[in-house]
Amino acid sequence: MSEWLSAQEAMDRLNIRAQTLYAYVSRGRIEARAQADDPRKSLYRAADIVRLEARRARGRKASAVAQETISFGEPILASAITTIQSGNLFYRGRNVVGLSQTLSLEAVAVLLWDVEGVASAPRHPVPTDGATGKARVLSALAWAASEAAPSRGRHPDLLHVEALQILNLVADAIVGDGTHQGLIHQRLAHYWGCDEVGADLLRRVLVLLADHELNASTFAARVTASTGASLAAALLAGLCALSGPLHGGMAARVRSFMDESARLGIERTIQASIERALTVPGFFHPLYPEGDPRAKALLSAFVPPADYQAVFAATEAATGKAANIDFALAALASTLNLPEDAPFLLFAMARCAGWLAHAIEQVRTGTLIRPRALYVGPRLQA
């Protein structure tokens, strides 16, 4: 056996999917390195594969298996909404790259919600408190959650109308005004002073970010919905999870890296990350080791600023890691001269469509999500 195996060879030996292989790598269970003739592809240490193969053959307790599903591991619940297969993202079986060519966020929301269409819903009044878009969205969802009825036991048609109301509420909260008309990307474009080309780029990124399977914020939304809480409450939970620097705040880290590279030099900044065993912000995704298709689709639709192009080329050359959607989102914001909080607001606006889909799907199951904890605390006493 060769010292290094291809991804397919490793998956065949362990009888696992790509997501699980990448999870093993991200947790340090399998060592990976860039392929010499193509740094965009990875090779995996055969000895690590053999060790895991032997361990799997011996069997593991169900509790150990369950514990490893939490971080990019095996699927933990059934869903008909979104999947990541063979390096591609699919909404209801349709490739998101193709959807992003023409559809609006509203059209994708209807697809994710699995309905033919949603009757027009009256717009909620927009809370005016909050100096920033993020503050207004949090305030709006908190207000809606306090006013809305529980989701459990309600007719699906009513939930879909409410979902459309909430989607519009978030858009109105971002712009701080409920009088704007048109599709959501058009309202955002008008608010941020974008032309038609910019508006179409906003439309694309909203579609590309609308859902991403069971990420942290979506899981938070599903857990909340499983209690029977309102759709607005589920979205509020998702938004709180999204606000973390390892999730929706990642684009801000990309901007910080860009600023640092401008001060210290690109190569020096990249090398410093490598020496600290850190991934360059905006590059690599455990579920897309060969490259994030969302980033490729978005970056192909516009010409990023020269500094982003330089960092893109230098990072891929130095690390063999491809840019992900966070880098593409930051590059888009710079290209369109959007305000500092725009990447987070675009992420939140888009993901609301997915959170609503998952909340509605979870309500339909009628089950409560209640995992068990593996106790590792002090010895129990009588």
Query: Does residue 63 register a pLDDT over 80?
Result: no
The answer to whether the Cα torsion of 121, 235, 353, 149 is positive or negative is negative
Distance of CA 130 to the CA centre of its chain: 25
Mean pLDDT, rounded, for 126-147: 87
Three-state DSSP state, 331? helix
For residue 237, count other CB atoms closer than 10 A to its CB.
23
Three-state DSSP state, 166? helix
For residue 372, count other CB atoms closer than 10 A to its CB.
8
DSSP element (H, E) containing 34: strand 32-35
Query: Does residue 299 register a pLDDT over 60?
Result: yes
Token pair listed for 232? 């607005």
pLDDT digits (tens, 9 = 90+) for 169-190: 999 999 988 778 899 999 999 9
CATH 1.10.1660: which residues of the chain?
4-68
Mean pLDDT, rounded, for 221-245: 96
Known catalytic membership, residue 114: no
Give the integer Cα–Cα distance in Å for 202 and 328.
12
Query: Does residue 280 register a pLDDT over 70?
Result: yes
pLDDT digits (tens, 9 = 90+) for 153-171: 898 889 999 999 999 999 9
Say what the pLDDT of residue 347 is: 97
Say what the pLDDT of residue 1 is: 62
Percent of the residues in the chain that have a pLDDT greater than 70, as a whole number: 93
Fold classified for 4-68: Multidrug-efflux Transporter Regulator; Chain: A; Domain 2 (1.10.1660)
CATH 1.10.580.10: which residues of the chain?
77-382
pLDDT digits (tens, 9 = 90+) for 94-108: 999 999 999 999 999
Q: Report residue 290's pLDDT band, with 50, 70 and 90 as the boundaries.
A: confident
Out of 3.30.1330.20, 1.20.1530.20, 3.40.50.300, 1.10.580.10, the CATH code matching 77-382 is 1.10.580.10
pLDDT digits (tens, 9 = 90+) for 261-270: 999 999 999 9
CA distances from 94 to 18, 91, 97, 117, 138 (A): 19, 5, 9, 17, 31
Token pair listed for 261? 């590279």
Q: Report residue 36's pLDDT band, with 50, 70 and 90 as the boundaries.
A: confident
Instruction: Write down the catalytic residue from 48, 211, 292, 326.
Output: 326
Mean pLDDT score of the chain: 89
Give the integer Cα–Cα distance in Å for 335 and 198.
9
DSSP element (H, E) containing 82: strand 82-85
Say what the pLDDT of residue 60 is: 58
At 34, which amino acid appears?
A
Beta bridge partners of 43: 6, 33
Give the integer Cα–Cα distance in Å for 273 and 96.
32
Taking Cα atoms as reference points, which of 150, 105, 110 lies closest to residue 348?
105
Helix axes 342-365, 184-192, angle to 10 degrees: 160
pLDDT digits (tens, 9 = 90+) for 307-340: 999 999 999 999 889 999 999 999 999 999 999 9
Helix axes 250-264, 325-335, angle to 10 degrees: 70
Phi, psi dihedrals of residue 118, rounded to the nearest 5°: -125, 130
pTM: 0.82
Known catalytic membership, residue 285: yes
More confident call, 85 vs 129:
85
Instruction: Write down the catalytic residue from 160, 185, 285, 358.
Output: 285
CA terminus-to-terminus distance, the chain? 54
* Weakest mean pLDDT among 29-33, 63-67, 326-330: 63-67
